A and B are shown apart, each in its own frame.
Chain A
């Protein structure tokens, strides 16, 4: 009898918590919600979040003159807390006069080559990740708000096509795991919904900060597909589609993930 009451109680508690989780109709889950409490605390505590070291470094680089023009980011953009607020929620985007979208790291490199007359920073370069983390951190807590337009929409559609196409020796698509089987366990670990809410992220597996592109390449390697070259437009197209899927979810940069 008492077991039956306990059961009923559990069902009620479950139903109530489920109903609360549905408040606002938000069913999408950030990877944050699926990690353990210890990691959530690590991300939330700026003194424990290793990504904050990169944000700090990014803040220093923001004010440091670079390139033949000897200009710093701050010389043009002023205080990032004002000028960069919300910017990361709108990337990838198409720069003025350009014919293809760039992601945030692409935008930072454009500023370097065009305005600072400095060298491009290579992918996964520490300073590039630090600057990107610093800029994106200014939007922490703000909802992802992708821009639209015919050209951008075309690239986004290309990204969705890539997301849904099977590829690699294992013949899997992004959608098979991250839409159809999200939440189920792959080798004992819950498959996330693949919302890029916290990039660049500090991944414990990497023991460093890394870009969304690096994460996408991890998945490509996993399904034994040929990874595109690092400067390939396919990554930006995929990023555009992923940001659309994650539209409205709050940005967490710098996120911590296992």
Chain B
């Protein structure tokens, strides 16, 4: 009986490929967490560093010394946490085009308005809500 309960709990904890929730934008920010919970900065750092999950370092550089091959197309992530508030960072990751229609930064938590998306990614966001929160939690720690 107790085992069943544990399984049930695990199942509900598993991420479901759900429709993205519609985040509430206030001015130039999304003040509230997409999951209702704070993210995990250590997990966020791993996502940012990962070339195929976060993809961040393809274009940005950042204070992640073990990743030697970083981009210089976009501004450095160093100091992002002092330039932007948590909510401002969240909107910039969720959908930067809400602030600058011409931005080349992909919208990490949006499925609409895209053309010819590969079948494997159709209807999916680049990051899950929980992953966005982890990345936000990491970026706010980048004060210098």
Interface residues of chain A, those whose CB is within 8 Å of chain B, are 165-172, 176, 180-181, 184-189, 191, 220-221, 224-227
Contact = CB atoms under 8 A, between A and B. Distances in A.
A167 B115 CA distance: 5
A188 B51 CA distance: 12
Given A169-B124, A170-B106, A188 B118 contact: no
Interface string B113-125: 1111111110010
Contacts of B119: 226
B84 to A, nearest CB: 22
B126 A184 contact: no
A180 B72 CA distance: 13
Contacts of B72: 184-185
B115 A221 contact: no
B143 to A, nearest CB: 25
Nearest to A172: B104
Nearest to B119: A226
Across the A-B interface, the 6 shortest Cβ-Cβ residue pairs: A188-B69, A169-B121, A167-B116, A170-B106, A187-B58, A185-B72
A25 B112 CA distance: 43
A210 B46 CA distance: 34
Contacts of A185: 70-73
A44 B113 CA distance: 46
Interface string B39-65: 000000000000100010111000000
B59 A165 contact: no
Contacts of B114: 167-169, 171
A187 B57 contact: yes
Contact of A184 (B73, B115, B121): B73
A166 B71 CA distance: 20
Nearest to B58: A187
Contact of B118 (A180, A181, A191, A225): A225
Contact of A186 (B71, B120, B121): B71
Given A169-B106, A171-B107, A225-B117, A189 B124 contact: no
Contacts of A170: 55, 106, 126
B2 interface: no
A168 B104 contact: no
Interface in B61-112: 68-73, 104, 106-107
A220 B120 CA distance: 13
A187 B70 contact: yes
A186 B115 contact: no
Nearest to B55: A170
A186 B104 CA distance: 13
B127 to A, nearest CB: 11
A169 B118 contact: yes
Contacts of A166: 115
A86 to B, nearest CB: 36
Interface centre among A171, A172, A176, A180 (most CB of B within 10 A): A171
20 contacts: A167-B117, A168-B117, A169-B117, A169-B126, A170-B126, A181-B73, A185-B70, A185-B71, A186-B71, A187-B51, A187-B57, A187-B69, A188-B69, A189-B69, A224-B120, A225-B115, A225-B116, A225-B117, A226-B117, A227-B118
